[in-house]
Amino acid sequence: MNLIELQTRFNTHLKCIKHLQQVRWGKKPICPHCGKNNISVRGKRRKFKKKRVARIYKTPSYHCNSCNRDFTVLTGTIFEASKLPLPKWFAVIALMLNARKGISAMNIMRDLGITYKTAWFTAMKVRCAMLDQVQMLEGIVEMDEAYIGGKPRHRKPAAHLATIGYRDFSTDDWRKDRWKYTGKTYGRGRATDKVKVVGIVERGVDKGRVALKVQDSLTGIEMLRMLKQYVNMKNSTVMTDDFSSYNRFDKVIQHYTVNHSEKEYVKHLEGIKDSIHTNTIEGVWSIIKNGIRGQYHVLSKKYLPFYLAEAAYKYNRRGKSEKKAAFGETIENAITDKKCQVRYKPKGNIRKVVYGEKVRKKRPKKPKPKRKPTGGTPGKVPAKRNQQQWKDHIKYLNRTSTKKKRKKAHLPYGQRGYSKKSRN
């Protein structure tokens, strides 16, 4: 939906409320708490007033006679308890859907005249409505991994690295020639500490869907587990590069590889109509990385799954007919889905919120053996003392202090560690 159409259809708060009521309930409201329709309309309406604007935004309130609780159409949605007017909420959704490579919170702040904090939190709530459980992928499928993160800082390494061939540090002019390489470059991909992301995409113009996921490790077991999670194993063919973790696929599914290490990017085999390559998933990575480089600039590892979910949501709806229906579908998800963020923080574990997977619990540490409580022997501090033990302990302290004084009695006053006044 373009901005001109948005301004004509949803330019007031009441128009947005009527649209949300039609999408969520239809003709008659239903209680979001108990699910019954024994509803009565409240006589007074709740008023949400914005400080800088004199207009009062009214939202109809209802009362459930079954569970005796009040609610509105915004209850249990991403719009609940928000002071931002609904026309601006709808504008944020339209801007995010129209931006192919994403839109930053600073851009939303400038376009709508709101604060950065409000823009960031609103965009993150909209991304919660874009969390989409992708159906099983079929047909020719491409799988590849990417590494998202900034470039390593240019600094002088240790002396033993000068012989590896990164740069020529043997000369004194290494500062002048620090941008000139002597053969190999700094490590890329798996040689860095970047975030590992795995993607699976279907082939097809305006039809292929994509599934993206942040992975902690890229072992063969983890890659095979993700393949079984998103791909229909019976009616599919997988194409990957020559990464060793994909070797397990040969026993489970029809698998073809392209040897990127030898600069082989497209391969043709007899009896196969389609060419073997991973260029489709490489195009997905270019969209995501160009969006980070050109729009967001900086992302945190913690919230990266939400940004990947937004990219996959828009990529899966890139067709002409799907683009027109994307706005209505996002509004419907925002109304029906529960909030996944509370007070600027995700509600629960991010992997569980975004991917719907169970979080592996860490093994509990073995408790350390407790020390046995000491008795009333002098010099040791017992766990619990009775009155007699306290007296013995005080006597022991007095005895040791007098011994120290006797040892220092032959010394002059200046070297005893106490003055005349304290002695007397």
CATH of the domain at 268: 3.30.420
Specify if 108 maps to a domain: yes
Q: Which secondary structure element, helix H or strand E, spans residue 148, and what is its range?
A: strand 137-148
- 66 and 162 in a single domain? The answer is no
d(C-alpha 52, C-alpha 193), whole Å = 46
Tell how many helices (H) and how many strands (E) occur in the chain.
12, 12
Specify if 168 maps to a domain: yes
d(C-alpha 99, C-alpha 79), whole Å = 22
- 82 and 189 in a single domain? The answer is no
- 11 and 74 in a single domain? The answer is yes
- 104 and 248 in a single domain? The answer is no
d(C-alpha 215, C-alpha 5), whole Å = 40
User: Do residues 54 and 29 make contact, with C-beta atoms less than 8 angstroms apart?
Assistant: no
Query: Of 268, 283, 300, which residue sits at a domain end?
Result: 300
User: Do residues 31 and 37 make contact, with C-beta atoms less than 8 angstroms apart?
Assistant: yes
Specify if 420 maps to a domain: no
Tokens standing for residue 197: 């992301």
- 91 and 39 in a single domain? The answer is yes
User: Do residues 331 and 19 make contact, with C-beta atoms less than 8 angstroms apart?
Assistant: yes
Selection from 16, 35, 113 nearest residue 74 by Cα: 16
The one-letter code for the residue type at 227 is L
Q: What is the pLDDT of residue 54?
A: 36
User: Do residues 147 and 195 make contact, with C-beta atoms less than 8 angstroms apart?
Assistant: yes
- 167 and 219 in a single domain? The answer is no
Specify if 313 maps to a domain: no
Q: What is the pLDDT of residue 80?
A: 87
- 143 and 292 in a single domain? The answer is yes
Q: What is the pLDDT of residue 348?
A: 66
User: Do residues 159 and 170 make contact, with C-beta atoms less than 8 angstroms apart?
Assistant: no
Tokens standing for residue 87: 């026309």
CB atoms within 10 A of CB 329: 16
Query: Of 300, 328, 347, which residue sits at a domain end?
Result: 300
- 139 and 273 in a single domain? The answer is yes
Phi/psi-derived region of residue 139, left when phi > 0, alpha when psi is between -120 and 50, beta in every other case? left
Query: Of 300, 322, 347, which residue sits at a domain end?
Result: 300
Specify if 399 maps to a domain: yes
Q: What is the pLDDT of residue 65?
A: 92
CB atoms within 10 A of CB 350: 19
CA angle centred on 231, ends 229 and 237, rounded to 5°: 145
Selection from 152, 96, 128, 88 nearest residue 317 by Cα: 96
How far is residue 17 CA from its own chain's centroid?
31
Residues in the chain: 424
Specify if 76 maps to a domain: yes
Overall domain count for the chain? 4
Q: What is the pLDDT of residue 53?
A: 39
Q: Which secondary structure element, helix H or strand E, spans residue 238, and what is its range?
A: strand 231-241
Radius of gyration of the chain (CA): 33
Pairing mode, strands 69-71 and 231-241: unpaired
The one-letter code for the residue type at 85 is P
Per-residue pLDDT for the chain (424 aa), expressed as one digit of tens each? 899 999 999 999 999 999 999 999 988 999 988 989 899 988 654 454 444 433 445 788 999 999 999 999 998 888 988 899 999 999 999 999 999 999 999 999 999 999 999 999 999 999 988 988 788 899 999 999 999 987 765 544 444 444 333 444 445 454 444 444 444 445 677 777 889 999 999 998 767 899 999 998 899 999 999 999 999 998 899 999 999 999 999 999 999 999 988 888 898 887 777 889 999 999 999 999 999 999 998 888 888 999 999 999 999 998 888 888 999 999 998 887 555 655 555 666 777 777 776 655 666 667 766 665 555 455 555 455 677 777 777 777 776 655 555 555 455 555 555 444 444 4
d(C-alpha 70, C-alpha 63), whole Å = 4
User: Do residues 64 and 71 make contact, with C-beta atoms less than 8 angstroms apart?
Assistant: yes
Q: Identify the residue whose tokens are 């942040």.
A: 214
Task: Report if pTM > 0.75.
Answer: no
- 108 and 202 in a single domain? The answer is no
- 28 and 91 in a single domain? The answer is yes
d(C-alpha 413, C-alpha 23), whole Å = 93
User: Do residues 196 and 189 make contact, with C-beta atoms less than 8 angstroms apart?
Assistant: no
Specify if 408 maps to a domain: yes
Q: Write out the residue range of the structural domain in which residue 173 sits.
A: 158-193
Instruction: 150-158: list long-range contacts, CB under 8 Å, 24+ apart.
Output: 152/186, 152/187, 152/192, 154/178, 154/179
Specify if 348 maps to a domain: no
The one-letter code for the residue type at 376 is G
Is the Cα torsion angle 371, 375, 377, 380 positive or negative in sign?
positive
- 210 and 276 in a single domain? The answer is yes
CA angle centred on 141, ends 140 and 144, rounded to 5°: 150
- 183 and 201 in a single domain? The answer is no
